[in-house]
Amino acid sequence: MEEFVGNIWHRFISRQSATAFPAAAVTLEPLLPQLAPFFRALGGPAGLQLEGAEPRPFRAPRRLMQKLAGSHTRFAVCWQDSRSLRLPPVIAQFDSPALNEALYFWLTALAAQQPRLEHWFEDNQRATATLLKKRPGLARSYDALLVATLQQRQQLMLDDAALDREQAIQQALTSPGSISTLPRAPGDPLPVPLWLYPAPLHAVSVAAEDQLDTPDGKGSAPAEQLQQPRKQARRIDDRKETDGLMIFQLEALFTRVEHVELDRVQEEDLDDESGPEDLDIITLSRQRRAGAGKLKFDLDLPAPQYDELPLGDGIRLPEWDYRRQQLRPDYCLLQPMLADDALPAALPDHLQSPARRLRNRFSSLKPQRSWLRRQPQGEEIELDSWLDHLTQPGRSSEPVACFRQRQPVERDLSCLLLADISMSTDAGINADQRVIDVIRDSLQLFAEALSASRDQFAIYGFSSIRNKQVRYHLLKNFNEPYADPVRGRIQALKPGFYTRIGAAIRQSTDILQRQRSQQKLLLIISDGKPNDIDHYEGRYGIEDTRQAIQQARKAGLQPFCVTIDEQAADYLPYLFGDRGYAVVSDLSRLPTLLPKLYLNLTHAH
């Protein structure tokens, strides 16, 4: 009975304290394909991702019912840092879905105008005024949002200093730039839905006293970033100075929000369902020993006798650092690799039939010989020219040109196919196939088709382990004929490590640039965005890849990416342009789609 009455009371209080409009709610995820290009078109920082924002606490004024319900203490607001633009995952601020959707576009435009906040009150006014002046088309949407926002804020019951502060905010919203100083008042003002907020928590850096106790004394590797909404954090001193004395509040015995140890990576912890996604505040402890599991990344390389044959000492390549806006010379070591133990192999039986169809279709692209007429010498006499010369001997004073000569007309084209064989290709797509299996089939059918057309082509694969070893696998170079040794190397492909794609593109550009053909196509197959276990993650990897693609275009190459990543639309338009990539939704169709795509790209029909 007590629980039944409590549920009724909870529902009643929640309804009385609610200010949102769930029926008019608009979610962020369906709008991301529109907001991302809108953000960049308005001049937003290149490479930033658009993600949902985690609610943060505000000490804003509340009504009595809201205090009884314990609500309106946390709000999702818009903010950005060097990695991403965070927008509320759901907006139900107004009773109109159109207004809630318009609020998403307004916040996105405002973030593009003001990438960094130093003074919240002044910068938001300045950015609003500048945006309305530069983009007058947004004025109508802003006016509608302003009217709805002021109607809600004018219902607040405030006292003295808080009232003065609220009136200043409303005046700043109505006439941006008219108020220079925000009056002081206790607590926080009610969040302004039309404005940006500073980032709640910057990346946690380990101070001198926080260094992990590692055997080499150099601390731990850089922390990995999570894809979940960012949490708040706090430091505690965990030096075990109070061992033997246990002090706690009895009512907190059944709660685990106070402190959860997350640094243990032991087999006995695998069944523990506790995780950071369940906590509001993550506690970071000091004086912790690094887990032995960190060694896994360094010991993952195969022994030399089981590894492929390295060709030479490696190639030093630069890498683009967007934070410095410059190339870091000789930063990456690219190591060409050759599978010398791969045995020559014939085409697998299940590819025989599609390969036969592709060879028949591509054989029509073979260079066809044409006749050059009226030549002074050649393979055959041209009868029309010879008869003209006999019947009209004085018509021309030029030497007799009564022969014709066969002249080959070649397709002046070179293609380099670069395949991503990172560890993610080890994922299964059904009970019988993995991603790497489909990539192998795609490479073989692609090679069968191009060998029939006699177009010049080369095939390479790549993966990486930090910048110290970008593994560049030679499967077929331009001077090597396509035969069983090449088929054997392709069939011996195995999933590699990570995806430092910028270095692989630079090396491919250098190889393809040396070809003398007029049209040069760089075709890339990838199953995900750039990543590695160091800082090559997020915006850093995307910016380096984009810089490598721009260098390829300047060299006269035509880069094109084929991907199976469902989130590719979030970053590939920024890397390759709107027409520089294709997303394959059904991975099993990739082997047959790749040759067709090649025909479209080379305008061969």
> pLDDT, tens digit, for every residue of 70-87?
777 889 999 988 778 999
3-class SS at 490? helix
Q: What is the arithmetic mean of pLDDT over 254-263? A: 48
Tell me if 179 is assigned to some domain: no
Indicate if 325 and 473 belong to the same structural domain.
Answer: yes
Indicate if 379 and 293 belong to the same structural domain.
Answer: no
Q: Between β-strands 281-285 and 79-80, what pairing exists: parallel, antiparallel or unpaired? A: unpaired
> Cα angle at 562 between 557 and 568, to 5 degrees?
115
Segment 119-129, tens digit of pLDDT: 899 999 999 99
Tell me if 195 is assigned to some domain: no
Indicate if 545 and 481 belong to the same structural domain.
Answer: yes
Residues in the chain: 605
Tell me if 467 is assigned to some domain: yes
pLDDT at 365: 72
Tell me if 185 is assigned to some domain: no
Q: Going along 477-580, which residue ranges are E strands?
A: 519-526, 558-563
C-alpha 404/C-alpha 569 separation (Å) is 55
Q: What is the arithmetic mean of pLDDT over 178-203? A: 84
- Select the more confidently predicted residue: 298 or 540: 540
Indicate if 86 and 220 belong to the same structural domain.
Answer: no
Indicate if 505 and 554 belong to the same structural domain.
Answer: yes
603 pLDDT more than 50: yes
- Select the more confidently predicted residue: 271 or 349: 349
- Out of 299, 322, 344, a domain closes at 299
Segment 423-448, tens digit of pLDDT: 989 888 888 889 999 999 999 999 99
Indicate if 257 and 232 belong to the same structural domain.
Answer: yes
pLDDT at 579: 87
Closest CA to 462 of 579, 572, 344, 308: 308
148 pLDDT more than 50: yes
- Select the more confidently predicted residue: 419 or 156: 419
Q: Which residues of 346-367 are buried (b: 16+ CB within 10 A; e: fewer)?
A: ebeeebeebbeebbebbeebee
Closest CA to 229 of 49, 47, 26: 49
Indicate if 345 and 430 belong to the same structural domain.
Answer: yes
Q: Which residues of 405-435 are buried (b: 16+ CB within 10 A; e: fewer)?
A: beeeeebebbbbbbbbbbebbeeeeeeeeeb
Confidence of residue 291 (pLDDT cuts 50, 70, 90): very low
pLDDT at 277: 56
> Cα angle at 532 between 529 and 534, to 5 degrees?
135
Where does 298-369 have alpha helices with state H?
Answer: 352-362
Indicate if 99 and 222 belong to the same structural domain.
Answer: no
Indicate if 462 and 474 belong to the same structural domain.
Answer: yes
Which domain covers residue 157, as residue numbers?
Answer: 2-174
Indicate if 205 and 258 belong to the same structural domain.
Answer: yes
Tell me if 458 is assigned to some domain: yes
C-alpha 298/C-alpha 29 separation (Å) is 37
pLDDT at 442: 94
Q: By percentage, how much of the chain surpasses pLDDT 70?
A: 75
Segment 199-225, tens digit of pLDDT: 875 433 333 333 333 334 444 444 444
Q: Which residues of 156-184 are buried (b: 16+ CB within 10 A; e: fewer)?
A: bebeeebeebbebbbebbeebeebeebee
Lowest mean pLDDT among 251-260, 301-310, 411-420, 433-442: 251-260
Within a 13 Å sphere around the CA of 334, how many CA atoms are in the beta-carbon half? 24
pLDDT at 78: 93
pLDDT at 300: 53
pLDDT at 453: 86
Segment 191-204, tens digit of pLDDT: 999 999 998 754 33
pLDDT at 206: 33
Indicate if 349 and 289 belong to the same structural domain.
Answer: no
317 pLDDT more than 90: yes
pLDDT at 45: 76
Tell me if 75 is assigned to some domain: yes
Segment 534-587, tens digit of pLDDT: 889 888 999 999 999 999 999 999 999 999 887 788 888 889 988 899 998 888
Look over the chain and give the mean of its residue pLDDT values, rounded to a whole number: 80
According to DSSP, residue 501 is labeled H
Tell me if 182 is assigned to some domain: no
Domain count of the chain? 4
Segment 376-407, tens digit of pLDDT: 777 777 777 777 777 776 665 555 677 777 66
241 pLDDT more than 70: no
CB 57 within 8 A of CB 201: no
The token pair at 122 is: 């002044």
